[in-house]
């Protein structure tokens, strides 16, 4: 029987895939943990997709798989024994994200002002996911300051937050809800 607990992390360390044991607050662990958190927020968004959101749900499910790839990429230091078992994000993944941004944002109204995160339930969850993606990007930048990080993964995570913003606006549009404009103080 496979148990979910191993007790090997009780000392505050975890094993990298094909690499050494490191502290659970290691920059690499922070980065792949942030990718996992982003993936969970996308799952929350998929959970409320309605019939009219089918295209958004389809893209979100693909993004969840790519985030799983990203987590594996980040958990596997370059040059380790299991590196060949990991799909590292590529320029094609970045191009796919850009294509989805163009497709999804193409039907949105031109953005003429800052908007507040919110609207329908799906849009609010997508804005939350966008914030998680930005946190993941910051963790990856921190890791990149001391270790090698796949450059395509860096580009992809940057595109992901833009895509989630476009998707949040599209969700509101599909649900008949206008963007909520930011009202600056006079």
Tokens read off for 29 = 């662990």
Predicted TM-score of the model (pTM): 0.90
Tokens read off for 159 = 């595109």
Instruction: Give one word for 12, left, alpha or beta, with left for phi > 0 and alpha for psi -120 to 50.
Output: left
Tokens read off for 12 = 């505050």
Q: 183 and 116 in contact (C-beta within 8 Å)?
A: no
Tokens read off for 163 = 């895509």
For residue 5, what pLDDT is reported? Answer: 59
Instruction: Give one word for 31, left, alpha or beta, with left for phi > 0 and alpha for psi -120 to 50.
Output: alpha
CA angle 33, 38, 40 (to 5 degrees): 95
For residue 11, what pLDDT is reported? Answer: 53
Q: How far apart are CA 28 and CA 48, in angstroms?
A: 31
Of 1-5, 42-46, 138-142, which range is least confident?
Answer: 1-5
């Amino acid at each position: 029987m496979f148990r979910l607990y191993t007790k090997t992390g009780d000392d505050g360390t975890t094993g990298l895939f094909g690499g050494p044991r490191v502290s659970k607050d290691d920059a690499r662990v922070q980065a792949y943990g942030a990718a996992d958190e982003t993936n969970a927020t996308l799952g929350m968004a998929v959970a409320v997709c309605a019939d009219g959101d089918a295209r958004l749900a389809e893209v979100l499910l693909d993004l969840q798989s790519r985030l799983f790839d990203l987590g594996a990429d980040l958990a596997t230091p370059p040059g380790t024994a299991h590196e060949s078992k990991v799909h590292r994000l590529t320029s094609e993944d970045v191009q796919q994200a850009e294509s989805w941004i163009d497709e999804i944002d193409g039907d949105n109204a031109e953005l003429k002002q800052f908007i507040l995160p919110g609207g329908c339930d799906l849009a609010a969850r997508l804005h939350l996911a966008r914030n998680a993606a930005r946190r993941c990007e910051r963790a990856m930048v921190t890791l990149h300051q001391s270790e090698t990080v796949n450059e395509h993964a860096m580009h992809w995570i940057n595109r992901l937050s833009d895509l989630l913003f476009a998707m949040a606006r599209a969700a509101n549009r599909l649900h008949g809800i206008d963007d909520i404009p930011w009202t600056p103080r006079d």
